[in-house]
Amino acid sequence: MPGTFSPPPVYRPAPVLQQRPAPPPVYRPSAQPRRAAAVPPGVFQMKRAVEHRPPPPVYRPAVRRGNAAQPKVGFEFETNWYVKGPLGSVGFHKAIIKGTGWHITGDSPGFTTVEQYASVGVGKGTEYKDLADVEFVTDAFDEDPEDREKLKQTLLEIKHVAQHLASAKSCSTNWFGTDDVKAATAIGGPVTWGEHLESKKELREGVVFARTGSLTAAPQMSAGVKMERLYKLLSDVTANQKGFLGADPGYLQQEYQYALTKAREIARRHEHPINSTQNFWWDFDKKKYEGVLALLGIYARMAWVLGPRLPYDKAVSALLSRTSFGKLPGWVRKVPTLIADVVEASGRSNPKASLFRQKLEKAEEKYFLQNPEKKPKFWYSLLSTEAWVQGIIDGKDPIVWGQTDRPERWKPAHIGQFLDKSKGHVYEFRGLRKGVGVADWDTFALDLYDYIVALNRGDLGYPDDPESYGEKFKKKYPGMLSI
């Protein structure tokens, strides 16, 4: 019943003292002696008026906007429970319940028959017409100590609410035998109804969670990763560090390793930059190209290996780029041998051979492939490696990569901490360990968050290079900002 939930403590940051803040630190090259007045060329000299800015605002949960990029870290916990309710009460990707920096939403249950819906008490002869999988979704958090603490408090609140729902008394009254608990049981303190249910009492009172055993989840993480750290990330994914490939990586490690090895070999064959203006940065651009080429090679290889078993584009890799490859930097897309390099990294010999399938939109397409996994059966066109990479070169990646949901969130963005930012793409980690119990969600997510922060900061070094990437840069180019 509403009002019976004992809410967790509300996270409140320490009070901000109303005093003049210290001016931001001025970068000084490590090779130069410290002088109070020394400012290296190119560093903007802030005006004194800037020193009198008001203190930062008190933290409030971030509001997801359709035009907001996400160079941050966020989590989804896709659970084994369902949420059901009257017609119009449960929508996909709409907040049903929300808390401090998180919300519960619904996702497609993947049911295709009346019998499947009836098995959980939804459909004809019941009061429930809407059904969805239950997902706990966090906001996206910055890579800094303050936001780490906010994420920690958010995860603790999620765990408290989830455990309360798991132990609440069942409200099941029908013969279907589903173990249901009213969604209203969770309401109280910082936990409220989502926007579309807040003013619809007649709908929200009928919303219930169908418990299908102990609450577990398959976590997913979305995070921005710097281009120069991508090869290191792919190496860790291939080694299944942090469980990136799940509990049973199987043949994936062998396939990923092939593309990684070939990408490094190909990138190191490029002895000269594309144009003379890049001579200074070429050593570091090669690292970026190495990572991009490895990822494109993995995608091309896995699409080839999976073949007809590949149901949709998002299933091609445990590390999914939610940012269009058409947004790669111009110098990457202008590498004259890019198509040949991707084909070689994937282990394929014919760039015109079929690779990805796309839903047929034009009647004049000449080549088709029937997708046996879809009912009713759809027809898909074949997309070759050459056509895919050529689309990337033209700035229009022909593969959607699941960007139908608020595509503005997946634009390239500057990633990292102050004075250590560079361009990167947003990736979704889709192959993480499944069946994680609710008691472990917070530690599981914080461990991955710490990994991403260390990766982007350069603390994890580089494959075959024990020295941190940032330190190596400072030694080679003293007096410059770390990239």
Q: Residues 11-34: what's their mean pLDDT?
A: 43
Residue 367 has pLDDT above 70, yes or no: no
Residue 336 has pLDDT above 80, yes or no: yes
Residue with more model confidence, 308 or 86: 86
Residue 370 has pLDDT above 50, yes or no: no
Residue 79 contacts residue 134 (beta carbons within 8 Å): yes
CB atoms within 10 A of CB 139: 21
Residue with more model confidence, 126 or 483: 126
Spatial distance between the Cα atoms of 448 and 222, rounded to a whole number of angstroms: 10
Spatial distance between the Cα atoms of 224 and 409, rounded to a whole number of angstroms: 11
Amino acid at 295: L
Q: How far is CA 73 from CA 70, 93, 373, 390, 483, in A?
A: 8, 19, 33, 31, 20
Separation of first and last alpha carbons in the chain: 54
pLDDT tens digits, 173-224 = 555 557 899 999 999 999 999 998 988 888 899 999 999 889 999 999 999 9
Query: Is the bond preceding 15 in cis, omega lying within 30 degrees of 0?
Result: no
Left (φ > 0), alpha (ψ -120 to 50) or beta: where does 385 sit?
A: alpha
Residue 96 contacts residue 207 (beta carbons within 8 Å): yes
Q: Domain-by-domain residue ranges, the chain?
A: 73-214, 227-416
Could you tell me which of 162, 89, 77, 168 has the C-alpha nearest to residue 122? 89
Q: Residues 10-23: what's their mean pLDDT?
A: 46
Residue 227 has pLDDT above 80, yes or no: yes
Residue 262 contacts residue 297 (beta carbons within 8 Å): yes
The whole-number pLDDT of residue 126 equals 83
Residue 326 has pLDDT above 50, yes or no: yes
The whole-number pLDDT of residue 464 equals 57
pLDDT tens digits, 283-315 = 667 888 999 999 999 998 888 887 766 666 677
Burial 42-80 (b: 16+ CB within 10 A, else e): eeeeeeeeeeeeeeeeebebbeeeeeebbbbbbbbbbbb
455 Cβ neighbours under 8 A, 6+ residues apart: 225, 229, 232, 233, 236
CB atoms within 10 A of CB 93: 13
pLDDT band at 12 (very low <50, low <70, confident <90, very high): very low
Spatial distance between the Cα atoms of 186 and 194, rounded to a whole number of angstroms: 12
The residue length of the chain stands at: 483
Could you tell me which of 148, 139, 159, 68 has the C-alpha nearest to residue 451? 148
Both tokens of 192, joined, read: 């409220």
Q: How far is CA 29 from CA 5, 25, 26, 34, 258, in A?
A: 55, 12, 10, 9, 40
CB atoms within 10 A of CB 221: 22
Average pLDDT of every residue of the chain: 75
Residue 300 contacts residue 343 (beta carbons within 8 Å): yes
Spatial distance between the Cα atoms of 465 and 21, rounded to a whole number of angstroms: 40
Q: Residues 153-157: what's their mean pLDDT?
A: 97
The sign of the CA dihedral 78, 81, 85, 87 is positive
Q: Which residues share a beta bridge with 358?
A: 381
Residue 468 has pLDDT above 60, yes or no: no
DSSP state of 409: G
DSSP-derived pairing of the beta strands 102-107 and 97-99: antiparallel
pTM of the model: 0.75
pLDDT tens digits, 203-216 = 899 999 999 889 99
pLDDT band at 365 (very low <50, low <70, confident <90, very high): very low
